[in-house]
């Protein structure tokens, strides 16, 4: 009964805001016509989104504006304009992140480098990543891991070729990329036939896949706040996933702490924790662990076997140019 009273009232208030309130004139980029009250351009968003944006860029130029409920979005499809976004004052503006529900429960209340707003904390995390985690020296220390994983992949390909088995490249590159990351971070193998602790590995993979699929504004309440009252089940599930992922990361952290001779990213962060325990808290370390795996998963999804506007990779010349980089 509560919902039947609140929903019409909320719709009435929002309609009043859009129809009667005076808004400031903003110097916004071109926008597709016929933006609807309340939902804005939501009706235009249909998969595949990259083709939709391509057609909109043809019609409205390399930069255009979309209104998605209460959120504003600017889409850029020009390299020159994208580069300009990260120079001067613009760099500070685009460094901020919208606050989504998944970031609250999974990214330790918006404290990871991918979710925290621009400020001292974000700059410190960026400094840690560039100097302590992905520096040339640190990556060089893990060269043997990358060589071993490439050898493992080639061995699997060779074995399948001998018995004329079909090879699914997506899962092959998935295992290669993730094992590189997981081994560098914690020293464990979670993917492929040689995975250690199959049960933990399966749980870890499912959690990473769920986190990736729900990242960003996946619930209507992220665009229209009054709809959050209908998303309690989604919020509970996201919270449960965050707790499960935290439990795995904590277990991995404790294992690395017990292995004093380990040469992993976590071991290095734990040594920094001894120097500055106030800043290098376990939440900060687990947040850095989480971001590495999450970014890796997003990159893996985007690196499929399609090129350009829906063309499949069939040419051997094109296939030879595919490079797997860590």
pLDDT at 161 (0 to 100): 87
299: nearest Cα among 180, 147, 157: 180
pLDDT at 309 over 60: no
Q: Which distant-in-sequence residues (6+ apart) come within 8 Å of 134 by Cβ?
A: none
Q: Is the pTM of this model over 0.85?
A: no
CA separation for the pair 75, 30 (Å, rounded):
10
Mean pLDDT of 37-45: 88
pLDDT at 303 over 90: no
Region label for 69, one of left (φ > 0), alpha (ψ between -120 and 50) or beta (otherwise) = left
Mean pLDDT of 236-240: 91
Mean pLDDT of 185-203: 80
CA separation for the pair 176, 324 (Å, rounded):
9
Residue ranges covered by each domain of the chain: 28-94, 99-326
CA separation for the pair 242, 246 (Å, rounded):
6
Residue 276: both structure tokens together: 């500055």
pLDDT at 60 over 50: yes
Identify any residues that bridge with 40 across adjacent strands, giving them in sequence order. Answer: 36, 68
pLDDT at 3 over 70: no
The SS3 call for residue 305 is coil
- The DSSP output letter for 225 is G
Please report where in the chains the tokens 């040419």 appear, as a residue.
Answer: 315
pLDDT in tens, 156-173: 889 888 888 888 888 888
Higher pLDDT, 313 or 92: 92
- The DSSP output letter for 36 is B
Higher pLDDT, 307 or 11: 11
pLDDT at 15 (0 to 100): 60
CA separation for the pair 191, 177 (Å, rounded):
9
Split at pLDDT 50, 70, 90, the class of 229 is: confident
Split at pLDDT 50, 70, 90, the class of 313 is: very low
Question: In whole numbers, what is the pLDDT of the chain averaged over residues?
Answer: 80
Mean pLDDT of 41-64: 92
CA separation for the pair 120, 111 (Å, rounded):
12
pLDDT at 297 (0 to 100): 46
Q: Phi/psi at 74 (nearest 5 deg)?
A: -120, 125
pLDDT at 326 (0 to 100): 40
Q: Which distant-in-sequence residues (6+ apart) come within 8 Å of 266 by Cβ?
A: 185, 186, 252, 253, 256, 285, 289
Split at pLDDT 50, 70, 90, the class of 307 is: very low
Mean pLDDT of 191-219: 79
- According to CATH, the superfamily of the domain at 99-326 is Cytochrome P450 (1.10.630.10)
- Determine which of 170-184, 245-259, 295-309 has the lowest per-residue pLDDT on average: 295-309
């Amino acid at each position: 009964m509560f919902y039947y009273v609140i929903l019409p009232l909320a719709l009435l208030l929002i309609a009043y805001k859009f129809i009667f309130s005076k808004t400031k004139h903003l110097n916004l980029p071109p926008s597709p016509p016929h933006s609807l009250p309340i939902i804005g351009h939501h009706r235009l968003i249909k998969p595949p989104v990259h083709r939709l944006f391509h057609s909109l860029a043809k019609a409205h130029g390399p930069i255009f504006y979309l209104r998605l409920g209460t959120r504003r979005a600017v889409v850029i499809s020009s390299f020159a304009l994208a580069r300009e976004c990260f120079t001067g004052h613009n760099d500070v503006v685009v460094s901020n992140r919208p606050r989504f529900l998944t970031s609250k429960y999974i990214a330790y209340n918006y404290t990871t480098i991918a979710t925290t707003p621009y400020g001292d904390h974000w700059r410190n995390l960026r400094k840690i990543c560039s100097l302590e985690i992905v520096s040339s020296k640190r990556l060089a220390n893990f060269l043997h891991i990358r060589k071993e994983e490439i050898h493992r992949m080639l061995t699997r390909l060779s074995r399948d070729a001998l018995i004329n088995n079909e090879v699914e490249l997506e899962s092959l590159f998935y295992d290669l990329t993730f094992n590189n990351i997981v081994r560098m971070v914690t020293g464990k193998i979670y993917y492929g036939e040689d995975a250690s602790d199959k049960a933990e590995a399966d749980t870890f993979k499912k959690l990473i896949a769920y986190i990736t699929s729900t990242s960003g504004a996946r619930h209507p309440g992220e665009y229209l706040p009054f709809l959050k009252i209908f998303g309690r089940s989604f919020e509970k599930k996201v919270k449960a996933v965050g707790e499960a992922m935290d439990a795995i990361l904590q277990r991995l952290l404790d294992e690395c702490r017990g292995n004093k001779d380990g040469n992993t990213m976590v071991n290095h962060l734990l040594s920094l924790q001894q120097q500055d325990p106030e800043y290098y808290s376990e939440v900060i370390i687990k947040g850095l662990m989480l971001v590495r795996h999450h970014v890796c998963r997003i990159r893996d999804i985007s690196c499929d076997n399609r090129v350009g506007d829906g063309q499949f990779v069939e040419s051997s010349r094109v296939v030879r140019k595919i490079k797997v980089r860590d």
